[in-house]
Amino acid sequence: MFTAAIHLPGAIDLERIDALADTLAALVAGVAAGVVGDAVIAAAHPDDPEIGTMAESTGAALVARGHSPWVAAAAVARRPWMLCLEAGDVPAEGWIRVLDRFGATATPEAVGRLRRPHAPLFERIAARREALTGTRRVRAGDLVRAQALQAGLPLRARAPVRPLRCSLLRG
């Protein structure tokens, strides 16, 4: 089972609120299927009342993102694995089956990576390189053990990256 960690970068505006709502709404099917157990929103401005209201109404925990949104979310994650998302990321069809299979077969040090075709070109190139060499950092779209993140970034050893057959779309 996974904790969904959603990074909400920058200043809060209507567009970012809508993006967060799209991501949270997309996760409902995963909750119903028993793959997503809880959610954490890592925000640059967690004291914003709109974000607080959205977190409270969805049952998500709200944390200040600090140096790394993923490390901040891992500190309050209640599940062993985390699905790292940016606000606005919406998993494509078949994501529940992909996460379920990954969680059942992955080794503790592995990192699963969903494709993010909307990511900047440099990030996509770096993600492909890391699929061959391993990674010491976590990106949006990654499935990673919360315990590894609690130890801090960069990861202690180069984690093998397993590209997954699923994409994240923009909501």
Dump pLDDT digits (tens) for 21-50. Answer: 999 999 999 999 999 999 999 998 888 888
Model pLDDT, residue 95: 97
Structure tokens at 91: 């998993």
| Residue 101: pLDDT band with limits 50, 70, 90 | very high
What does the pLDDT read at residue 72?
A: 94
DSSP 114: E
Q: Is the pLDDT of residue 102 over 90?
A: yes
User: Under 8 Å CB-to-CB from 158, ≥6 apart: which residues?
Assistant: 133, 134, 135, 136
The CATH number of 2-170, from 3.40.50.1970, 3.40.50.720, 3.30.70.580, 3.90.550.10, is 3.90.550.10
| pLDDT grade for 154, boundaries at 50, 70 and 90 | confident
- Average pLDDT score over residue span 127-149: 92
Q: What rounded mean pLDDT belongs to the chain?
A: 92
- pLDDT for position 144: 96
φ and ψ at residue 89, rounded to 5 degrees: -70, 130
Contacts of 33 (CB under 8 A, 6+ apart): 96, 100
Residues 6+ apart with CB under 8 A from 21: 54
The model's pTM: 0.93
| CA–CA distance, 123 with 37 (Å, rounded to integer) | 28
Q: How confident is the model at residue 73 (pLDDT cuts 50, 70, 90)?
A: very high
**What is the Cα–Cα distance from 168 to 11, expressed in whole angstroms?**
23
Helix axes of 49-58 and 14-33: crossing angle, nearest 10 degrees: 10
Region 100-114 average pLDDT: 93
What is the model's pLDDT at position 67?
85
The ranges assigned to domains in the chain are: 2-170
